[in-house]
Structure 1
Amino acid sequence: MISLTQKEIRQLKARAQLLKATVKVGKQGLSAEFLAALDEALKHHELLKVKFDEFKEQKRELAPQLAEKSGSFLVTRVGNVVVLFRPKPTATT
């Protein structure tokens, strides 16, 4: 479980304002394919936006599930968009 300070969360929110939605939740919902695409996106970008095109009524319940299943931290949820953060793994030598 990732834990962040309030200062770190504020910094991530500021960085996220400039981002476009990288992944979209569509008709399939939180399917295995969607979670694989989300995992791949988090490997390349540690901070990303996820837009709910479908399931807009359930986004309040789905956002924490999305963070839990992807091993990321739910930074914020605004409207139909959630911001997730998962730090890139550090290379050990």
Structure 2
Amino acid sequence: MKLSNKQKQFLKGLAHPLKPVVQLGANGLTEGVLAEIDSALNHHELIKVKVPTDDREEKSLIMEAIIRETASEKLQVIGHTLILYRLSEECKIQLPK
């Protein structure tokens, strides 16, 4: 699903007050963490994931893996926080045209 700039801006505005739903721990990106992110996307559609690592390249690789494995859309990365969106079957968020 390709989002327009207007839709991305709308979703970023909705994501602003949200707290990270999933935070990666010392074990990094595991199957359990991916399952939790997938479940959160199904339930909320719009989530924040915290990736606390100081290595920029490692952080980038982890974020790309999360996006690829969950088939979600990356809206924004702010520091260690990744904002993701994926449309669910119930369509909880009405996007502007």
Shorter-chain TM-score bucket reads 0.7 to 0.9
Consecutive aligned runs of 4 or more in structure 1 exceeding 4 Å deviation: none
Over residues 19-77 of structure 1, what are the superposed CA-to-partner deviations in whole Å (9 max), with x where a residue is unaligned? 00000011121111111111111111000000113x34121222122111011101110
Name the structure where strand makes up a greater proportion of residues.
1
Secondary structure at the counterpart of residue 76 of structure 1 = strand
Secondary structure at the counterpart of residue 75 of structure 2 = strand
The normalised TM-score by structure 1 is: 0.87
Show the counterpart of 2:10.
11
1:68-83 equivalent positions in 2, closer than 5 A = 68-83=68-83
Name the aligned partner's letter for residue 67 of structure 1: I
* Structure 1: segments with no counterpart, 5+ residues: none
Secondary structure at the counterpart of residue 43 of structure 1 = helix
The normalised TM-score by structure 2 is: 0.84
* Structure 2: segments with no counterpart, 5+ residues: 92-97
TM-fit CA distance, 1:6: 0.6
